[in-house]
Structure 1
Amino acid sequence: MALTHLLVGAALLSLACFFSGSEAGTVGVCYGMMASKLIKPPAVVQLLKRNGITMVHLYDANPEALTALANTNIKVGVSLPNQYLALAAGSTLYALQWVQSNVKAYPGTKINHVAVGNEVFHQQPELTPQLLPAMKNIQAALVSVGLADAVKVVTPIALDALTKSFPPSEGQFRDDIAQSVMRPLIDFLDRTGSHLTFNYYPYLAYRDHPDQINLDYVLFRPNKGQLDKGTGLMYYNMFDAMVDAVFHAVEKLSSSSEHGRGRILSGSDSSASFIESGSANGGGTTGPAAADNLGEQKSVSAAATPANAQTYNNNLISKILRGTGTPYKPNAEKGGSAAAPPANAQTYNNNLISKILRGTGTPYKPNAVISGYIFSLFNEDLKPGDDDERSFGLFYPNGTPVYKVDFVNPGPAPATPTPTPAGSSWCTANAAVSDKQLQDALDYACANGADCRAIQPGKTCYQPNTVVAHASYAFNDFYQRKSGTCDFNGAASIVYQKPTGTCDASAPAAASWCVANTAVGDTRLQAALDYACSNGADCSAIQRGGRCFDPDTKEVHASYAFNDYYKRNGRTEQSCNFDGCGSVVHQQPKYGNCVL
């Protein structure tokens, strides 16, 4: 089992499986088959469809599964296991035959990645020299059969590839692999448009150090958080901290491809993916009755309960969507405290789903898109290792659920906060505290259940663009959802009259347009016009013969270009700046027959 998968660039985040990036956060499952009395692949496909699961990762290239998944529109990842790594590295012919037999042979199956090896540095370090050559040969084979655009080559990596993972800003790769393996590996992934993938298992960290780690921190529940003094960022869950540790490690790597590092890590293009992430669930192979044996455990971990498993998975699904989970059958030999109530699992899962489906990134990379795979689809009683390794399943082998995880909905998210039953109270920001304290509390609220979409640039409640206004919106949304929680370490307070200027997220955003500021002169307008047309604005309508060519003036042409750029970039203040050449208006401009 892998401890962490991170895919950076289109990141795969998972606790025990694998995750990969996508344009919007998506959650899949790791489909392992080492279980007795396991339902057949056609029945598995129906199970996936019923639960809205749109991605699966296989640990091999099982023909029966790949056939059953054909024509379903479910994205499928296949694996070249570690035992075949040396063969693929040493023979281009073997790599080609493998791709022809396990990828090309299934044209109706939506295969989107090949995982070459699994946690090689952790599980079989002697194969490390063969890893990149094997990946390159598989890539060459995909090119030769015309599938390189649709199918990407990845390799899931365990988190112990880092020498340190907390604080995240001190994350860096081990000296034995940093320059010799990771740098050329990242360059390869960049050149091929693929992703860096890691497996993440916060549960295992808690299981091994329950005296040092707060369970709430693992389960995405409210907690005091952990400060990274290197960046000044607060972390309110371990998953974010693990992911950001990998981001920092990659940034510290002296890659020979600066372009690649930029695509993978910088700005809104940053994404995280995991193939494995999960938490043990309590075990069992036949159905709910098997879970009753939990009472026979002499010593169990508080993290390893169905409740904590469900809490963790739903939270992580919302954030990453590939490869994460929590075991519900603890390993008694590891020791630990009494089991927690089942509500913990549900809390974790719902919080995580909400986090991922809302597109929440991490403290260090807030715009990162996280997708991944939950480990795992089934409890697998035939797997070697500890009990919890066999008990990460969302379902028993017969297809009955261990607990409910929603792969489709981010949870209740009304556009406007609903007043409490008492009805007449709101949670507002305390303007007397520092902006930093407000920002930290705002980040916490948005990362732990508040729906903060309305205060993003260009959205209904973005204006006024002040930390007090945004914090008040986030605090109140959190307050209404959490049945009266309004503290935030002194950054907020409850009031019983609706605050002046309270934004209604359900109201339509005020119409706005970006027009030219003629006071700056034609020279500056022309320069700004050229910039807009060269950076995304569609300026075809102001070319000769276009519908807005006339009136043929700098003001009209610049206004058209500025407004098109403004619309395409979220209608933010910054997107209508143009170094002072643009300004926002709230009446629809009309120039002759040209209406913006």
Structure 2
Amino acid sequence: MAKHGAASILTLALVLGVFAITPTAVQSIGVCYGVIGDNLPSASDVVQLYRSNGIDSMRIYFPRSDILQALSSSNIALIMDVGNDILGALASDPSAAASFVQNNIQAFPGVNFRYIAVGNEVTGNDTHNILPAMQNLNGALAAAGLGSVKVSTSVRFDVITDSYPPSNGYFRDDYMIPIVEFLASTGAPLLANVYPYFAYADNPKDINLNYATFQPGTTVTDDGNGLTYTSLFDAMVDSIYAALEDAGTPDVRVVVSESGWPSAGGFGASVRNAQMYNQKLINHVKGGTPKKPGEVLETYMFAMFNENEKTGDETEKHFGLFNPNKSPSYSIKFH
């Protein structure tokens, strides 16, 4: 995870709260399994921890055989990233994509692969490798008889610009348009990392903590779509939907591939705020957003563990729902 740009929403000088939606469906939320730590439990223990907490979906950031072996026959649905370091090879050589599928997917027939994420928060010149790598992997999966596994990419929220009000959202860069057109053609969702925390930490003067953590507050109407927004999370997700509409691909689903709140290490990072945000997030996404009410929003929380070897801001080490000894970082219910 990298710091997620929120410049386009920092103009959101509003004090908002929780959007009350009655859930119409129940679905377990996913949790991202990061491994940048020197004190984490074994993969088999981690899979058991997922199962014992009723967590039925996982995201990992690169293929790792011990994790894939532990997942075999667990029925836990998996988002697996390819790893940003091999995007160029996958983009330039279809045989590299075929080898990836053979070695990391076909070799683990007991794993419930749901999506393959071709890059996480890719920036700079590497963005041009995303689409050809997706195309090559999609072709390799089809050739292997695994066309049900969908290929996507996981983007930073700041691929969206002018996201306030949400109805104004559109893609900042042209490279995103052929990507979402490809997703539309294959029926795959767009994976997006959505962090109200970073917006709040960058601009606490204008973005109220209650608004960022699903607590009650002021309601505001988006004149562009006539919808009422009372949570930053909803506004951010609906701006992605608006960008997809602007790109001519309104039927592409959004899957929130990361969202979370740190429990220590920076402004607004506390156990109380993390517990409040994450518990409300679990409850909230069952009911969708104002633009997609009643439609369960598939969401992956970041992250399973506090990771003591993460680099960057100190908060990066404190997003875990669990400590490395498998004890909860704070009380949370996944259902």
Structure 2: runs of 5+ lacking an equivalent: 6-24
Q: Which runs of 4+ in 1 moved over 3 A?
A: 23-26
Which one-letter code corresponds to 1:160 in the other structure? D
Match of 1:144 in 2: 143
In structure 2, distance between residues paired with 1:313 and 1:105: 35
Q: SS of the residue aligned with 2:211?
A: helix
Shift, 1:233, TM fit: 2.2
* Structure with bigger RCO (C-alpha 8 Å, 6+ apart): 2
Contact 1:272 1:369 in 2 (8 A): no
Match of 2:161 in 1: 163
Shift, 1:370, TM fit: 0.3
Q: Report 1:109-508 matches (<5 A).
A: 109-120=111-122, 124-149=123-148, 151-174=149-172, 176-177=173-174, 181-253=175-247, 255=248, 261-264=249-252, 271-282=253-264, 301=267, 303-317=268-282, 353=283, 355-357=284-286, 360-408=287-335
Which one-letter code corresponds to 2:240 in the other structure? V
Shift, 1:226, TM fit: 3.0
Shift, 1:89, TM fit: 0.2
Shift, 1:94, TM fit: 0.6
How many residues end up aligned between the 2 structures? 315
Q: Report 1:574-585 matches (<5 A).
A: none
In structure 2, distance between residues paired with 1:361 and 1:47: 27
Which one-letter code corresponds to 1:398 in the other structure? N
Match of 1:41 in 2: 43
Which one-letter code corresponds to 1:167 in the other structure? P
In structure 1, distance between residues paired with 2:304 and 2:241: 28
Match of 2:17 in 1: none
In structure 2, distance between residues paired with 1:26 and 1:242: 22
Residues 24 and 104 of structure 1, relative CA distance in 2, 3 Å threshold: farther
Shift, 1:26, TM fit: 3.6
Which one-letter code corresponds to 1:279 in the other structure? W
In structure 1, distance between residues paired with 2:332 and 2:72: 25
Computing the radius of gyration from Cα coordinates, the structure with the larger value is 1
Shift, 1:30, TM fit: 0.4
Contact 2:160 2:170 in 1 (8 A): yes
In structure 2, distance between residues paired with 1:34 and 1:162: 28
In structure 1, distance between residues paired with 2:137 and 2:127: 16
Match of 1:320 in 2: none
In structure 1, distance between residues paired with 2:315 and 2:220: 27
TM-score by length of 2: 0.90
Which one-letter code corresponds to 1:192 in the other structure? T
Q: SS of the residue aligned with 1:29?
A: strand
Q: What is the CA deviation profile of residues 131-188 of structure 1, one whole-angstrom value per residue up to 9, with x for unaligned ones?
A: 1000000101101111111x111101111111221110111111x32xxx22221221
Over the matched positions of the two proteins, sequence identity in percent amounts to: 42
RMSD, matched Cα = 1.6
Shift, 1:208, TM fit: 0.8
Shift, 1:389, TM fit: 1.0
Which one-letter code corresponds to 1:263 in the other structure? D
Contact 1:168 1:248 in 2 (8 A): yes
Shift, 1:365, TM fit: 2.3
In structure 1, distance between residues paired with 2:31 and 2:153: 17
Contact 2:91 2:132 in 1 (8 A): yes
Contact 1:25 1:356 in 2 (8 A): no
Match of 1:95 in 2: 97
TM-score by length of 1: 0.51
